[in-house]
């Protein structure tokens, strides 16, 4: 059974399946991975250079990974400003925040241009506090954005925040219009349709079983081979499993979600009537938004950690944290306490050390490119990833190919078992810290110190 978003998108779809690759073929560019990053890259290549022969392979169906099962929160990098400035300097940090906001709008323009019905709603986002300890936590980054002339947030009165968010649990809030909500499955399947329309050759159920470097490069699959002048690896969380050199570049962690049955009457009653995305100020945040058909989607990141970058069976099952999600739903929305939960699900997120994606070139021949590490916030930034990879593939000299984002991983996790055990220690410390704060108690000093390891990279797993 597919996750809710993807299942809903497939039911509404009329496109024919893309057959697995059978036999040998040749392409100018071969893209491995049929999620947001791979599809945006393919589309941008064909839009910029229609004569390119672009072939995309996907081990399952397009959107089966994180792209078809995320929270649907298309957010900018404003909240990551301090990390961007520390790593890249003020000028590039400012540019990237601006570009991340442009990508939010560009996704809407794309949906309109190609008639992609992805439930795109440019209704903004609220960053809130849900306990006293969280109050003021957003002030410093807002001040930095303001100093650099890139602040889109305004603090709203508490009554307005609670009305917009549909919940009295919020104690303060900052609103930005530069954010959107989408139905992730509809968006990724829409990208697939447009890629096919533009002439991209797509083979689903075609896993890469081997990569032979050279000019051209060779990509092995179960029933055929591809010779390609350039290769793009857009496998996200699966990169760490496929290529040992990236095993310590990311930690694989779940984000867990639920969605209710349609209750537009209750949404009207509580006032959650727009597509605004709402995020609290935890390290592993709660995030939610409604849907056009009257549901609430609520998620929480930072739950299941995978040992050694493995793809655990639980990532393809209903969320093991369903009770926790249900409890959070009833706390935010008492009116929904008895409403049926239509589905729960989770999926693997490739969290980098910095909380930012990274890109690069990994072959001696100079023709194999990659990008991953979106850290649970990829709905908007994957559009930037497509621009980066399309520019690298074409050998362009522009702001993307001059960006330090293309310098590969900017940090590494410790080796196993230290990474896994350390991740569990930090996760559990964060849970204890935030539980104490929720009850108005001071958290233990050790828990605060351990939580800072995760907080250094910013909020996690919200898109």
Same-domain status, 325 and 440: no
* Degrees to nearest 5, angle at CA 207 with 72 and 196: 60
Digit-coded pLDDT (tens) for 135-156: 999 999 999 999 999 999 999 9
**Above 60 in pLDDT, residue 197?**
yes
Give dist(CA 367, CA 297) in Å, integer: 41
Query: 334: how many CB neighbours lie within 10 A of its CB?
Result: 13
Can the peptide bond before residue 63 be classed as cis, meaning omega within 30 degrees of 0?
no
For the chain, the straight-line distance linking the first and the last C-alpha, in angstroms and rounded, comes to 22
**Above 80 in pLDDT, residue 460?**
no
Same-domain status, 439 and 336: no
- pLDDT given for residue 454 in this prediction: 82
- Is residue 282 a contact partner of residue 435, using CB atoms and an 8 Å limit? no
Same-domain status, 288 and 430: no
Q: 221 in a domain, yes or no?
A: yes
Digit-coded pLDDT (tens) for 93-105: 999 999 999 999 9
> What CATH number does the domain containing 276 carry?
3.50.50.60
- pLDDT given for residue 72 in this prediction: 97
Q: Could you give the percent of the chain with pLDDT greater than 70? A: 98
Digit-coded pLDDT (tens) for 151-194: 999 999 999 999 999 999 999 999 999 999 999 999 999 999 99
The number of folded domains in the chain is: 2
**Above 80 in pLDDT, residue 459?**
no
Q: What is the mean pLDDT of residues 270-290?
A: 96
**Above 70 in pLDDT, residue 455?**
no
- Is residue 100 a contact partner of residue 77, using CB atoms and an 8 Å limit? yes
Same-domain status, 303 and 443: no
Selected residue with higher pLDDT from 49 and 349: 49
Q: Could you give the percent of the chain with pLDDT greater than 90? A: 93
Q: What is the mean pLDDT of residues 431-453?
A: 94
Q: Which two tokens stand for residue 214?
A: 């050279």
**Above 80 in pLDDT, residue 275?**
yes
Find residue 278's DSSP bridge partners: 126, 288
Find residue 25's DSSP bridge partners: 226
Q: Mean pLDDT over all residues of the chain?
A: 96
Q: What is the mean pLDDT of residues 425-440?
A: 95
Q: What is the mean pLDDT of residues 14-43?
A: 97
Q: What are phi and psi of 231, to 5 degrees?
A: -125, 140
Q: 207 in a domain, yes or no?
A: yes
Same-domain status, 255 and 386: yes
Q: Look at residues 312, 285, 287 and name the one whose alpha carbon lies nearest to residue 297.
A: 287
Residue 463's pLDDT band (cuts 50, 70, 90): low
Residue 310's pLDDT band (cuts 50, 70, 90): confident
Instruction: Give, in order, the Cα–Cα distances in Å from 139 to each of 65, 88, 145, 146, 149.
Output: 35, 22, 10, 10, 15
**Above 50 in pLDDT, residue 461?**
no
- Is residue 309 a contact partner of residue 250, using CB atoms and an 8 Å limit? yes
Same-domain status, 296 and 437: no
Q: Look at residues 196, 223, 195, 199 and name the one whose alpha carbon lies nearest to residue 209.
A: 223
Residues 6+ apart with CB under 8 A from 165: 126, 128, 173, 272, 276, 278
- Is residue 26 a contact partner of residue 227, using CB atoms and an 8 Å limit? yes
Residue 15's pLDDT band (cuts 50, 70, 90): confident
Domain that holds residue 450: 418-455
Q: Which two tokens stand for residue 26?
A: 């040749």
Digit-coded pLDDT (tens) for 46-86: 999 999 999 999 999 999 999 999 999 999 999 999 999 99
Q: 250 in a domain, yes or no?
A: yes
Q: What is the mean pLDDT of residues 93-120?
A: 98
- pLDDT given for residue 14 in this prediction: 86
Instruction: Determine if the pTM surpasses 0.95.
Output: yes
Tracing tokens 């990829």 back to the chain, one arrives at 378
Q: 375 in a domain, yes or no?
A: yes
- Is residue 369 a contact partner of residue 233, using CB atoms and an 8 Å limit? yes
Query: 81: how many CB neighbours lie within 10 A of its CB?
Result: 24
- DSSP E strands, 38-130: 54-57, 73-74, 125-129
Give dist(CA 355, CA 250) in Å, integer: 9
């Amino acid at each position: 059974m597919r996750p809710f978003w993807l299942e809903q998108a497939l039911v509404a779809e009329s496109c024919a399946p893309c057959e697995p690759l059978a036999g040998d073929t040749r392409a100018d560019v071969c893209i491995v991975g049929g999620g947001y990053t791979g599809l945006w890259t393919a589309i941008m290549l064909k839009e910029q250079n229609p004569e390119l022969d672009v072939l995309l392979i996907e081990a399952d169906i397009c959107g089966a990974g994180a792209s078809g099962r995320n929270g649907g929160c298309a957010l900018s990098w404003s909240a990551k400003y301090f990390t961007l400035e520390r790593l890249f300097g003020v000028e590039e940090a400012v540019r990237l925040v601006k570009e991340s906001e442009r990508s939010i709008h560009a996704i809407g323009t794309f949906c309109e241009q190609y008639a992609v019905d992805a439930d795109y709603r440019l209704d903004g986002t609220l960053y809130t506090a849900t306990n006293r300890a969280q109050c003021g936590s957003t002030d410093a980054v807002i001040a930095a954005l303001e100093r650099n002339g890139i602040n889109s947030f305004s603090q709203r009165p508490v009554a307005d925040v609670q009305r917009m968010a549909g919940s009295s649990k919020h104690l303060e809030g900052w609103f930005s219009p530069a954010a959107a909500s989408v139905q992730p499955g509809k968006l990724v399947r829409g990208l697939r349709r447009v890629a096919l329309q533009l002439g991209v050759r797509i083979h689903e159920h075609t896993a890469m079983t081997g990569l032979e470097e050279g000019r051209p490069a060779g990509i092995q699959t179960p029933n055929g081979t591809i010779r390609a002048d350039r290769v793009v690896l857009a496998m996200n969380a699966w990169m760490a499993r496929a290529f040992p050199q990236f095993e310590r570049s990311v930690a694989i962690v779940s984000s867990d979600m639920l969605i209710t049955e349609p209750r537009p009457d209750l949404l009207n009653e509580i006032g959650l009537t727009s597509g605004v995305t709402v995020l609290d100020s935890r390290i592993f945040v709660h995030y939610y938004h409604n849907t056009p058909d009257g549901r609430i989607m609520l998620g929480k990141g930072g739950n299941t950690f995978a040992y050694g970058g493995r793809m655990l069976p639980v990532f393809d099952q209903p969320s093991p944290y369903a009770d926790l999600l249900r409890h959070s739903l009833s706390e935010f929305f008492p009116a929904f306490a008895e409403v049926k939960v239509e589905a729960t699900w989770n999926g693997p997120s490739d969290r980098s050390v910095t909380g930012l994606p990274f890109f690069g070139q990994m072959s001696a021949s100079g023709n194999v490119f990659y990008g991953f590490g979106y850290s649970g916030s990829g709905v908007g930034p994957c559009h930037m990833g497509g621009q980066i990879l399309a520019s690298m593939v074409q050998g362009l000299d522009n702001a993307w190919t001059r960006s330090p984002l293309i310098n590969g991983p900017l940090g590494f996790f410790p080796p196993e078992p230290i990474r896994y055990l350390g991740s569990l220690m930090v996760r559990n410390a964060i849970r204890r810290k935030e539980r104490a704060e929720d009850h108005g108690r001071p958290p233990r000093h050790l828990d605060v110190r351990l939580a800072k390891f995760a907080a250094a990279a910013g909020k996690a797993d919200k898109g």
